[in-house]
Structure 1
Amino acid sequence: MFTNKKSLLALSVASAFALTGCFSDDDNNKPVPDDGGDGGDGGVVVVAPETPAALTFVVSGSVVQSNDDDEFDVIGDATIKFLESGVLSTNIVDVEGNQVQTLDVGDEGSFLVTRKSGSSTDSVTAIVSAPGFVTKAFSLDLSNEDDNDVLVAQFLLTPTDEEGLASTTTTSSDITGSTTTAEIVADASAEGSSLASATLPTGITLQDADGQPVTGAEVALNVLGTDPSTETKSLVLPEGLNSDDSSANIAVPVSLANVTLSVDGTSVKKFAGDTLNVTLAAPADLDAGEVLSVSSLDEETGIWMPETFPVTKGTGTVSFETDHLTWFSVNKSVPVCTDGLTVNFTGDAVPAGGLTLAAYSADGFLWSRVGAGSTSRVVPPGFLKRYGISSEATATVVVFDRDGAIWGETDGEVAVCGTVNDFALAAPYTLVNKTLTITGSCANDSDVAVDVTNSAVRYKRDGKAVRTALKDADGNFQLTNLREGEDYEVTVNFRGLPLEGSNTISLDAVTGDDLTQNFEFTCPEVTGSGGTGSTGGTGG
């Protein structure tokens, strides 16, 4: 009888009205809406804000320097620039998803970033600078082969007045337009010995990176030289010199220097009409038959490039002519270490927060994380190559915690291509771990809970690097490697949740006791929208 759905729907509605005409609903038993409304009277309901997506991987980084106690202090006015393939990276974001290409670390000297969602990039270059320190490029490995949820990155900068370095600036008014009218020499010396010198000849034309003339009234020629016999050379060497994975040899710097030039504050990058002579201190035992090459760093891109100009060896010196300015590394070629480095530990156990293993000498410098409970650390050959550790390298091996406190050190330099046995670890302090549970509730209705488990918890001692904890399997946060009795400040990044009040917790004279802390948030209010009920009829 009914030929379509519209007819059926019309009949259903009509039947409903017919039935309500015979009954009345005046007992006010109105239905309660699903969203907690008041049954249609327009009441207000408090609801929890949306929970941010879970974090599964972050980089917890800091910029530090060594202090007189052989520990690390943060550098509070450092700047970091993230690059990929020589251009600003688009794959680094903060924990709220905002793109980060450059950042100032602020007074705490630390930062927290992660990879952009969907990104598969496995490394970026971080160029780190701070007033009074040598600018350095660092290779930041994001491959996370150890499957950590928090990757620790510490960028160690070296003061410009560090032993093993010498820096000098020569200023001159011998310039007409963009051409020098007299020879200009800058010689960086330490204890009467020249570590690096640069000679700008008469009649050379000064240009910017695009080859355009740079004109002005005053020339400033700066040279930073390194002592080739000290580990300082390895500490300041910008990373990435050995990024070519296909070579069976690695470039080992014998001499290293940075040469810069400006005219009235404008940087000079190139020359025309002549070349700049650079002479560097070199090891006294450098083999007379050693074949040397030069690499230069593009400071804008963080990429090392091979040069073709020849190197002249003198007595304790090497020299070359260049038509541009930057970091220069004079290198010898040495076979790679194919065995890797294995360090076997004895003594105290590696604590919950892990430790860092470093090897340093004039031959090279490397860092490697040591996981909690590890009885050994195996550094693969590719990692050694990246840090310039060759088959012939020797170095002092040291293990330290996040604050730089030393847990163990070899007695002088040892071979770092192969195995180091019986490396004794000893905790320098009594450490405790604390489980932190954070909860959330609405300030405008304490009965409404706010899920805060996807936050990032950061904690530190005054002047030290910030550490980061993400939630564990139980939704709690593990604060590890705390020095018993010391004071810590805990800061919670709620990642956009509308917090009311402070996001910090002070831990005075810290112990290993568990701690629970509640925070309040401004929660959205939604107007109820329940059913209207019927109006009743006149009876039948």
Structure 2
Amino acid sequence: MITTKLKHAALLAALSLALTGCFSGSPNPRTDGGGDGGGPTEPTDPVVVAPEQPEALAVVVNGNIVDAGTLNVLESATVSFRENGAASDSVATVNGEPVTQITVEEGSFSFTLRDGASPDVVRLLVTADGYFPKAFNIDFTSGEAEIESLLTLVAQAGDDVAVDSAEDDVTDATTGAAITATADSANAGAEATVPAGTQLRDSAGNAVTGTSVTLNVGAINPQSNSSGSAIPDGLSSGVDGQVAVPVGVVDVTMRDNEGTNIKSFSNPINVSMRLPASTLGPNGVDPIETGDEFQLSSFDEETGEWAIEDTNAVVGALNGAGTAYTASFETDHLTLFSATASSAVCTSAFLANNSGDTGGIGGYVLFKSSTGNTAQRLPRPFTSFTIPSIQLQRAGVSATGQAEVSVIDPLGGIWYESDGLVQICGGTLNARLVNPLATTFDEAVTVTAVCSNDDDVRTNVANAEVKYRETGSGSIRATARGVSGEVGSYQLVGLNADTDSYTVSVNPRLEGVAPFTQTITPDGEDETIEFNITCPTVTGTGTGGG
């Protein structure tokens, strides 16, 4: 649990009040006939004191999980914390409770590190119904006290996505006939077939007990910038001067009617993915052709790690329309697979300059490409910033890496969008940021604890978790930062003057007080948010004077 320190001034004042008269010079008549003084005094009434303040967190990560296409937050998602392929033992809630997994409602979450934990990287495995799973790396090596993270997931729907499912009965965990799911759309395609007579097993290698199963296949257009949002971090981090560039992605899952995920098989199953005819070959230079073999990697959704498969994805014949090839492979397990080509790693930094509004409210710069998507926190204010080459290498950016670039504020408002692709490796972006809102206000809210057992006793609460967004919207929640020199005061920036209200979410981080919300009016006037708490009491007793 979080340790706290009592407010010494309040304690001393309370003790002073409680002990007044207990050691005064006035004689206390004895009741036993033994003379004046020395008799016990009556205790004073208990004195209510202000609640203990939560300690400041050494580091806190504030995240939002959003739809890659709309940037609206997801209603529900699950985040699992991983280190070195196992559950992380470094993570705690902001209230100090150790966790390895959390359920995120309405897209927003926060966490900190446990006492004594000092990981370089914690990997977040994020899953949500109707979305491709993805892993994100949170880097703690910068020493930042506040880390803002925007996590984008791709919906299993849309023009650049193809999905299909097939259901069939099984006997004694074994297929009676082949089960095939074929995902096909104008821009994406994949297929998976489980042969007849195949035993279906769970993650522990045990035969499943269900009587029917559903096979699901999902594919993404490998040349769409949406595909990058579906590729979990860690596929490539620049090894031996090369990066693995994804050319095709297919997600294959299977579940029985009892809800058990099927992860392996007694016999290999067949999987294929469609690759556009314009795809470059395995060396990243020559055009693709029949017989090419792409390295195949699989993403383990249990550990959050990528692994290179023993088999390759082999390119078949060009289709009759001359538009696509099919790359096929066999596997004995199910997960998300990526066929990759090799390319030289990026060795030059990326520079961004801003000649427009300074964007003093912060926000993110978003990079979207077919090989990977990432969100970089903006400095406050933003006039220029550099992403070092080592950071680009860790993100798997190649020497020819390009991406669409956009800049959004902490609430999701778009300030800039590039006109097409921008060179990332060694490139320079000269942007002109424009605030999308006509009129905005900044306001401070003061979070005040009021003692329910004596409402004359109150205190402003420092180190609370305060977030806000437009009421009724699905937008990102921004984190309010504490106002320097003002205990318990938090700054809300960039409020839309044309909006009726904002909902402020408050976690006071005080024992016995649950997180709560309150609405405010964006009018530029500072406001106070009060909540009740049962406060501690102090009672003094004495032995009398002589």
TM-score by length of 2: 0.83
Three-state SS of the structure 1 residue aligned to 2:445 is strand
Q: How far is the alpha carbon of 1:122 from its aligned partner?
A: 2.7
**Contact 1:216/1:264 (CA < 8 Å) preserved in 2?**
yes
| CA positional deviation for 1:238 | 1.8
Give deviations 1:51-98, integer Å, cap 9, x for gaps: 22123432222222256xx5x322222222222222222222122111
Residue 287 of structure 1 and its aligned partner are, at CA, apart by 4.0
Unaligned runs of 5+ in 2: 1-24, 30-39, 284-292, 319-324
Q: How many residue pairs are counted as aligned between the two chains?
A: 489
Paired with 1:204 and 1:49, the residues of 2 have a C-alpha distance of 63
Shift of residue 196, structure 1, vs aligned partner? 0.6
Is 319-328 or 180-189 further displaced after alignment?
180-189
Could you say which residue in structure 1 is the equivalent of 2:294? Answer: 292
Which position in structure 1 is the counterpart of 2:493?
480
Cα offset for 1:441? 4.6
The secondary structure found in structure 1 opposite 2:279 is coil
The answer to whether structure 1 residue 199 and structure 2 residue 193 are counterparts is yes
The reply on whether 1:466 has 2:501 as its aligned counterpart is no
Q: Secondary structure at the match of 2:197?
A: coil
Residue matched to 1:383: 391
Does the Cα contact within 8 Å between 1:241 and 1:251 map onto a contact in 2?
A: yes
| Cα deviation, residue 226, structure 1 | 1.3
Q: Which amino acid aligns with 2:343?
A: V
Match 2:264 to one of 270, 278, 283? 270
1:212 to 206, 213, 218: 206
Aligned equivalents of 1:490, 1:444: Cα separation in 2: 26
How far apart, CA to CA, are the structure 2 residues paired with 1:467 and 1:398?
Answer: 18
Q: Which has the larger radius of gyration?
A: 1
Quick one: which of 514, 522, 538 aligns to 2:534?
A: 522
Q: Give the alignment partner of residue 179 of structure 1, picking from 169, 174, 180.
A: 174
Which residue of the partner structure matches residue 238 of structure 1?
232
CA-CA distance at 1:503 after TM superposition: 5.2
C-alpha change, 1:451 and 1:406, in structure 2 (3 Å) is: closer
In 2, are the aligned partners of 1:55 and 1:470 still within 8 Å (CA)? no
Deviates more, 1:329-338 or 1:283-292: 283-292
Change (3 A) 1:363 1:504: closer
1:495 aligns with 2:509: yes
Q: 1:251, 1:488 → 2: CA distance?
A: 44
Q: Secondary structure at the match of 1:256?
A: strand
Does 2:320 align with 1:322? Answer: no
C-alpha separation between the residues in 1 aligned to 2:52 and 2:236? 46
Equivalent residue of 1:100, what SS?
coil
Q: What is the aligned partner in structure 1 of residue 65 from structure 2?
A: 63
Q: Deviations over 1:446-503 (max 9, x none)?
A: 5545351232222222332322234343123221222224211223322125569x95
Structure 1, unpaired ranges of 5+: 1-24, 30-38, 535-540
Q: Report if aligned partners of 1:60, 1:112 keep a CA contact under 8 Å in 2.
A: yes
Q: Aligned AA for 1:526? A: V
1:120 matched residue in structure 2: 118
Instruction: Tell me the residue number matched to 1:49.
Output: 51
Alpha-carbon spacing, 1:494–1:267, altered in 2? closer, same or farther (3 Å): closer
Question: Please, which moves more after superposition, 95-104 or 468-477?
Answer: 468-477
| AA of the residue aligned to 1:123 | V
Cα gap change, 1:451 to 1:414, in 2 (>3 Å): closer
Tell me which moved more, 358-367 or 177-186: 177-186
Tell me the CA shift for residue 250 of structure 1: 1.1
Contact residue 282 and residue 341 of structure 2 kept, 8 A? no
**Map of 1:299-318 to 2, 5 A cutoff?**
299-314=301-316, 315=318, 316-318=325-327
For 2:103, the equivalent position in structure 1 comes to 104
Q: Which residue of 2 aligns with 1:533?
A: 545
SS in 2 for 1:323: strand
How many angstroms does 1:383 deviate by?
2.6
Q: Partners of 1:40 and 1:483 in 2: how far apart?
A: 61
Relative distance call for 1:205 and 1:425 in structure 2 (3 A) is: same
8 Å contact from structure 1 (residues 254, 283) kept in 2:
no
Match of 2:183 in 1: 188
Match of residue 507 from structure 1: 520
Correspondence list, 1:424-435, <5 A: 424-429=432-437, 430-435=439-444
Query: CA shift at 1:216, angstroms?
Result: 4.7
2:22 match: none
* Change in CA separation of 1:49 and 1:286 when aligned onto 2, cut-off 3 Å: closer
Aligned 8 A contact 1:222 1:259 in 2: yes
Once the two structures are TM-superposed, the CA of residue 293 in structure 1 deviates from its matched residue by 0.4
Q: Secondary structure at the match of 2:261?
A: strand
- Range with bigger deviation, 359-368 or 212-221: 212-221
Q: Tell me the secondary structure at the aligned position of residue 275 of structure 1.
A: strand
Q: CA contact under 8 A between 2:226 and 2:368: conserved in structure 1?
A: no
Q: Say which of 223, 245, 261 aligns to 1:252.
A: 245
Determine helix, strand or coil for the equivalent of 2:393: helix
Q: Distance in 2 between matches of 1:194 and 1:435?
A: 49
RMSD: 2.7
**Equivalent pairs: percent with the same residue?**
35
Q: What's the CA shift for 1:225?
A: 1.1
Contact 1:196 1:223 in 2 (8 A): yes
SS at match of 2:373: strand
TM-score w.r.t. length of structure 1: 0.83
| Structure 1 counterpart SS, 2:376 | strand
Offset at 1:504?
4.2
Q: 1:83 to 1:40 in 2, by over 3 A?
A: farther
Instruction: Report the equivalent of 1:134.
Output: 132
Partner of 1:364: 372
Seen in structure 2, the aligned counterparts of structure 1 residues 258 and 102 have a Cα distance that, compared at 3 Å, is same
* Secondary structure, aligned partner of 1:418: coil
Q: Is the CA contact 2:350–2:388 (under 8 Å) kept in the aligned structure 1?
A: yes
Establish whether residue 401 from structure 1 lines up as the match of residue 426 from structure 2: no
**Structure 1, residues 238-288: CA drift from partner, whole Å, max 9, x if none?**
222124x6432111110000112234443222222x321211111312345
Letter in 2 for 1:312: V
The Cα of 1:516 is off from its aligned counterpart by 4.1
| TM-aligned CA distance change 1:289 to 1:134, over 3 Å | closer
Range 259-268 or range 475-484, more displaced:
259-268
2:27–2:545 CA contact under 8 A, matched in 1:
no
1:519: Cα distance to partner? Answer: 4.6
Aligned partners of 2:368 and 2:374 also within 8 Å? yes
